[in-house]
Amino acid sequence: MRKMERMKALPCFRRWTRAPYAVFNSLHITVKIGVLGAAMLTASNQPVLSQAYQTTDNDPAIQLKEVQVNSDLPPTTQQLVKVVAVLTRKEIAQAAVQNLQGLLRYVQGIDLRTRGAENVQADISLRGGTFDQTAILLNGVNLTDPQTGHFNLDIPIDFHLIDRIEILYGPGAWTAGSIAFSGAINIITRQVFPTSLHAQLSTGAHNYQQADAYGYLNSGKWRVAAGANTSQSSGYAPNTDFRIFNAYSNIRFLTNHSGQWMMQLGAQSKNFGANSFYSPSFPDQYEETRTLLASLQYQKQWRNWLFTANTYYRRHHDMFTLFRYPDQAPSWFTSPNYHLTDIFGASLQASYTWLAGTTSLAGDFRSEHIFSNALGTPLSQPVYDPYSGKKVFTLGALRQYGSFSLKQVKNINKWTLGAGILGSGNNDFGFHIYAGGNVDYAFNQNLTLGFWLHNSYRLPTFTDLYYTSPTQIGNAQLKPEEAFNTDIHLLWTPSNWTVRAAFFQRDGHRIIDWVRLPSNPVWHSQNLTNVQSMGTELAADYRPQLSWLKTVHVDYTYLNVTKNSSAYVSLYATDYLRNEVRIRLVNPIWKSLNAAWQVSYSDRAGTYLNATNNQETAFTPYWLCDLKLMWDKPSYQLFAEADNLLNTTYFDFGNLPQPGRWVKIGLSVKI
């Protein structure tokens, strides 16, 4: 009798849906169910295909009323293809970094070129694209900067609140809009958590100091995650000091009847020395940035329908000067550059699951505005800058665009078929159409082969259009760049293994780049005829059942990028990581002490103009090794990190050496 009473507490589900917002789909799991009795279904963070559970005559089955299952995770971006790569929360905790910028070096397919270390500034690109061709999302909200991709990673997020990082390619990145030219990076914060409060302090070389406080509240219908952190350093070289502050909160209100609400609020400030950031001729460059973020999302599931509404706002302010100390500036220098960008966006989406599969219809509006004293067209009168306290803005620009998309996804036995169309119109560049589709086939529960294709385009940034200096000249006549993309991918998941392989190709037309003739030192922004990118990705994760080794990860990426206009020297379009290898492993050492290693090899194509001899110089391949030691206890963690453990000299940008060995130690406690 007691056994039967315990079994009555187990729900027996009578109907399952293959909708993209169903609970197992939100966990990236495909489940085939025949007869479900009193059984337990387990899941991992890798895509799996569960075998049907077969009952016997002796299995007692208790039929309950139909139960609707709502995952505490919000539905991820409606995609035609699977997420290609994911950095999980467990891998994030093991990385030898304490900021988003450093963390992205652990994700395959990402080329992160650092100007300032420790989250100061970096350019990010995917699969051979330029830094302006990658869209950046935070919980699905498009934060891509319209002024320049240099500011795409100015995201006010507390590092410890990140749950995972997803890489979206092809039609899977459509919801990022037309900016998702080469793909999108979606940073997802923790959604499921117990109530707790945490604090962390760390210190290290170069007078590095960091303090962080973050916590979670799980009470009834409310879920709150919030954190604030500050970091500073005197710098690893002259004029590389920095001071950074981040604050972020994610507030959710969950109900079964009226839907789910999610609000994000964030603020960030950065002050930093920008030694030779944009020219080695001026080592005393200096920059200050400020970022504000707010978004509100609503979701409602009703029978076979899923409705989503989203609105967001982002403000970014930048002050950049060639001369940090005004009394040392030459007479020809008149003023720093001031920029203030405001982004507003709103979207609606409805998805319906029926016999033909899942049909999704979405509409999106986005407005991008800039005030500046260097970018845009002349204003009738100067505009006040709330950050500098002066009327410094003499130029401005505004562009607005809307888009709609229609997608259809259908599962037929072992096949998954998808197709869609997206149209986007802009007040300056007219109307453009995307189209794409995918086919996936599951040979068995461990092996899936897929293929997708689509076309894409990107609008020029405000910097591409308007920026002018003694060494750079923008082009207000630029046209949007276009591309046609294809991808073939294989996923194999035998016991204790996850193996992924992909081949991809992108044919770009009218690619926007800064170029110059070999005899001319001045860079011009223009549509550089055609650029072709192709490459392969291989990745393997192994989870051995060994006491001295927990996990092993190996990945390799090969890229080849060619352009038709060989007469020009390209600043960005043909400067890419040709070969990259990552090896990560986690091994126990003694009791609660564990070590996490990453060894990487980078071989960058392209050249730079060497400031020492004024000659075009090829980048030198290099190896890096990072190590994190962790002493883990339920209520605290002691850790030590060593970035660039071997003290390798290397360059992400020409004439800008990266930090050598940088050791930090810290303590994290759960209060």
pLDDT per residue over 264-283, tens digit each?
999 999 999 999 998 888 99
Please tell me whether residues 138 and 6 are part of one structural domain. no
Please tell me whether residues 132 and 47 are part of one structural domain. no
**Does the pLDDT value for residue 428 go beyond 70?**
yes
**Does the pLDDT value for residue 653 go beyond 80?**
yes
Indicate the pairing of strand 447-458 with strand 357-372: unpaired
Let me know: does 625 contact 598? Beta carbons within 8 Å: yes
Is 456 a domain residue? yes
- Residue 281: predicted pLDDT: 87
Q: Please give the Cα distance from 139 to 151 (Å, whole number).
A: 18
Nearest to residue 287, comparing CAs of 271, 303, 276, 266? Answer: 271
| pLDDT tier for residue 427 given thresholds of 50, 70 and 90 | confident
Q: What is the reported pTM?
A: 0.87
Q: Please give the Cα distance from 75 to 647 (Å, whole number).
A: 43
Is 279 a domain residue? yes
CB within 8 Å of 30: residues ≥ 6 apart: 24, 47, 48, 49, 442
Please tell me whether residues 334 and 292 are part of one structural domain. yes
- Residue 10: predicted pLDDT: 38
**Does the pLDDT value for residue 136 go beyond 70?**
yes
Please tell me whether residues 14 and 155 are part of one structural domain. no
Where among 71, 106, 131 does a domain terminate?
A: 71
Is 77 a domain residue? no
pLDDT per residue over 329-349, tens digit each?
999 999 999 999 999 999 999
- Residue 266: predicted pLDDT: 98
Nearest to residue 335, comparing CAs of 374, 375, 301? Answer: 374
Is 80 a domain residue? no
pLDDT per residue over 383-408, tens digit each?
999 999 999 999 999 999 999 989 99
Please tell me whether residues 315 and 266 are part of one structural domain. yes
**Does the pLDDT value for residue 284 go beyond 70?**
yes
How large is the average pLDDT for residues 577-592?
A: 96
Please tell me whether residues 54 and 116 are part of one structural domain. no
pLDDT per residue over 527-552, tens digit each?
987 899 999 999 999 999 898 999 99
Please tell me whether residues 65 and 94 are part of one structural domain. no
Please tell me whether residues 51 and 165 are part of one structural domain. no
Least confident of 63-67, 147-151, 287-291, 375-379: 63-67
257-274 b/e with 16+ CB inside 10 Å = b? eebbbbebbbbbbbbbbb
Question: 501: domain range?
Answer: 85-670
- Residue 368: predicted pLDDT: 97
Q: In this prediction, what percent of the chain has a pLDDT beyond 70?
A: 86
Kindly calculate the radius of gyration of the chain based on its CA atoms and give it in whole angstroms. 25
Number of domains in the chain: 2
**Does the pLDDT value for residue 45 go beyond 60?**
no
215-230 b/e with 16+ CB inside 10 Å = b? bbeeeeeebbbbbbbe
Where among 71, 104, 125 does a domain terminate?
A: 71
Q: In this prediction, what percent of the chain has a pLDDT beyond 90?
A: 69
The torsion defined by the Cα of 86, 88, 91 and 96, in degrees rounded to 10, comes to 80
Is 79 a domain residue? no
Q: Please give the Cα distance from 597 to 602 (Å, whole number).
A: 17
Residue type, 109: G
Handedness of CA 20, 22, 28, 33 (dihedral sign): negative
Let me know: does 117 contact 240? Beta carbons within 8 Å: yes
Let me know: does 502 contact 488? Beta carbons within 8 Å: yes
Is 598 a domain residue? yes
How large is the average pLDDT for residues 557-571?
A: 83
- Residue 2: predicted pLDDT: 43
pLDDT per residue over 305-320, tens digit each?
999 999 999 999 999 9
Neighbours of 196 (CB within 10 A): 12
Q: Please give the Cα distance from 539 to 543 (Å, whole number).
A: 14
140: exposed, middle or buried (C-beta count within 10 Å: 0-12, 13-18, 19+)? buried
**Does the pLDDT value for residue 446 go beyond 80?**
yes
Nearest to residue 185, comparing CAs of 137, 229, 232, 243? Answer: 137
- Residue 469: predicted pLDDT: 84
Question: What CATH code is carried by the domain that includes residue 91?
Answer: 2.40.170.20
Where among 20, 47, 71 does a domain terminate?
A: 71
- Residue 521: predicted pLDDT: 80
Q: Please give the Cα distance from 619 to 653 (Å, whole number).
A: 9
Please tell me whether residues 39 and 145 are part of one structural domain. no
Is 521 a domain residue? yes
Please tell me whether residues 430 and 314 are part of one structural domain. yes
How large is the average pLDDT for residues 352-369?
A: 94
Q: Please give the Cα distance from 470 to 580 (Å, whole number).
A: 35
Please tell me whether residues 146 and 18 are part of one structural domain. no
The torsion defined by the Cα of 561, 567, 568 and 572, in degrees rounded to 10, comes to 10
Please tell me whether residues 485 and 338 are part of one structural domain. yes
